[in-house]
Chains A and B, each alone.
Chain A
Amino acid sequence: DTAVSQTPKYLVTQMGNDKSIKCEQNLGHDTMYWYKQDSKKFLKIMFSYNNKELIINETVPNRFSPKSPDKAHLNLHINSLELGDSAVYFCASSQVTGEQFFGPGTRLTVL
């Protein structure tokens, strides 16, 4: 069974479009995260939810909006996509301050 899953794995879209990425974890963790990894492999935290409550909201454009319908799911919606949004987006989950389990990533390409 996959611990942290993301869909889709690849996303190719035009500038200006709106897209969503979904994430689910079956580990029973309370905390979930979204990270962006750019072409230089730099991993940067974007958002974190703990028990469906937003606890980390880094300096991210308002076009990015996370939603956590329940503890096991954290989705990311992106409006008006720009070229600079092209990256790999990773979802992760953890229990308290322990290790983080990452999903397989979603490679977003904006044309």
Chain B
Amino acid sequence: GQQVMQIPQYQHVQEGEDFTTYCNSSTTLSNIQWYKQRPGGHPVFLIQLVKSGEVKKQKRLTFQFGEAKKNSSLHITATQTTDVGTYFCAVGGSNYKLTFGKGTLLTVNP
């Protein structure tokens, strides 16, 4: 099945610094989704990317889908303490199956 590698596993930043997490696949992806899970919470959908080279923005969050549709990134500009949590990418497969990356845990020092 689909597999996706997500890095880094952990990232600790000072408030105001930028943050990026990356997902890479050895195969071409039909789409990729991003989720955020706050500590003690449940995964919450952020965005879905479908088109090659797609770039989408949500306030301080920028999502990119690679030209070859094999990689994606989530970049947060000027992190805030509210950004703390684990960010997951997830790739779609057959039968509506989503395969999640292992996640990047972001901690922010105020």
Judge whether B102 and A100 touch: CB under 8 Å: no
Q: Is A103 an interface residue (CB 8 A)?
A: yes
- Chain A residues near B48: list those with CB within 8 A: 98-99
Judge whether B95 and A55 touch: CB under 8 Å: yes
Q: Is A66 an interface residue (CB 8 A)?
A: no
Given the known A-B contacts A99-B33, A102-B42, A102-B44, are A41 and B103 also in contact in the complex, defined by CB atoms under 8 Å? Answer: yes
Interface size on B, residues (CB 8 A): 21
Judge whether B99 and A90 touch: CB under 8 Å: no
- Chain A residues near B68: list those with CB within 8 A: none
- Chain A residues near B100: list those with CB within 8 A: 42-44
Interface size on A, residues (CB 8 A): 24
- Chain B residues near A44: list those with CB within 8 A: 100
- Chain A residues near B44: list those with CB within 8 A: 102
- Chain A residues near B96: list those with CB within 8 A: 31, 48, 50, 55-56, 94, 96-97
Tell which of A40, A41, A105 has the most Cβ of chain B within 10 Å.
Answer: A41
Q: State A31–B103 Cα separation when bound (angstroms).
A: 24
Q: State A43–B90 Cα separation when bound (angstroms).
A: 10
Q: State A100–B36 Cα separation when bound (angstroms).
A: 12
Q: State A101–B31 Cα separation when bound (angstroms).
A: 17
- Report B's interface with A, CB cutoff 8 A: 31, 33, 37, 41-45, 48, 86, 88, 92, 95-100, 102-103, 105
- Report A's interface with B, CB cutoff 8 A: 31, 40-45, 48, 50, 55-56, 90, 92, 94, 96-105
